Amino acid sequence: MKILVVGAAGMIGRKLCERLARDGALAGKPIEAAHFVDIVPPSPPAFAAFPISCEAFDVAAPYVAPKLIADRPDVVYLLASVVSGEAESDFDKGYAINLDGARLLFEAIRSEHRLSGGLYRPRLVFTSSIAVFGAPFPETIRDDFFTTPLTSYGTQKAVTELLLADYSRRGFFDGVGLRLPTICVRPGPPNRAASGFFSGIIREPLAGREATLPVADTVRHWHASPRSAIGFLLHAAELDLAELGARRNLTMPGVSVTVGEQIEALRAVAGEAAVKLIRRQRDETIERIVAGWPSRFDASRATRLGFVAETSFAEIIRVYREDDDVGPVA
């Protein structure tokens, strides 16, 4: 079992690589080697029973994908992505990384498939997003709802989903796309994602720091923890994809809560002192982006296939405090 993780330096990628190193196996098979890549060199996990190579590449450069696939990895994780806010503000960069980079990787796999006489057919796990859906929404969104995104980021993810399904249909690889909820609470410094405040209003007050809330308390959204995201990725590598048929993209389970309910969960955990550190400052750009995102899903198809997430936002905070929190409110 050889593993390739593209996007290994990001928060999810780093946690996935650490988990693979710790487990030493994937889909019931021992890992013999792993290749972790990103635009900056990923940090190798401290302990692993198999050799790991960590390299920095620009996935939008045409020479990169053939180089990554030349060793014919058995499982390819495609996590590399320009986040939503940056994809909206930098049109060229968003399409270069989120769409062109994915297609170049798909084409490199197709080339190796052809050179092998059809024998090389890896499992490819792609992290998509609930941003592939666009308003107006029903109260609860099913997997078969129209993918009519209202952001460049969502469009890039939706097009990649279509390519993944078609390349899988043609037998070039065995692909599955995971529409991740907003991952919350994200550890570390804020990023340029439009959704970053969902984590910030929990993470920063728990550390005794002020957080900015750019939207109303009534905004509702779909969340899962980083721990759940890693569980989704691991499960996707061992899933019997015959159960998916031609519908290769799945909405992952999560928790639907309003910003106000997030704040109440924070109050229950850390008290009024933490809540008082949230500063309300309206941002019309973020309001517009978030208004185009769905807020509640029927993820029963993924649940039937064994994907599992938290069932309350209080549980999401608990997971953050167990896995990533640096300490209580100062």
Q: In angstroms, rounded to a whole number, what is the distance separating the alpha carbons of residues 175 and 167?
A: 8
Residue 95 annotated as catalytic: no
Name all contacts of 117-121 with Cβ < 8 Å and 24+ positions apart: 118/171, 120/72, 121/171, 121/172, 121/173, 121/174
Q: In angstroms, rounded to a whole number, what is the distance separating the alpha carbons of residues 296 and 78?
A: 25
Helix 259-270 / helix 196-206 crossing angle, nearest 10 deg:
20
Assign 3-class secondary structure to 89-135: HCHHHHHHHHHHHHHHHHHHHHHHHHHCCCCCCCEEEEEEEHHHCCC
One-letter amino acid for residue 208 of the chain: G
Q: Which residue has the tokens 């940056």?
A: 86
Phi, psi (5° rounding) for residue 270? -120, -5
Give the sheet arrangement for strand 174-180, strand by strand. Answer: 52-56, 33-38, 2-6, 75-78, 123-129, 174-180, 249-251
DSSP, collapsed to helix, strand or coil, labels residue 27 as coil
Q: In angstroms, rounded to a whole number, what is the distance separating the alpha carbons of residues 229 and 219?
A: 23
Q: Which of 95, 120, 153, 320 is catalytic?
A: 153
- What separation, in Å, do the N-terminal and C-terminal C-alpha atoms of the chain show? 46
Q: What is the dihedral of CA 65, 71, 75, 78, to 10 degrees?
A: -20
Instruction: Say if residue 26 is exposed, middle or buried (CB neighbours under 10 Å; 0-12, 13-18, 19+).
Output: buried
The C-alpha angle with vertex 161 and arms to 192 and 149, in degrees rounded to 5, equals: 55
Question: Which residues does the annotation mark as catalytic?
Answer: 153
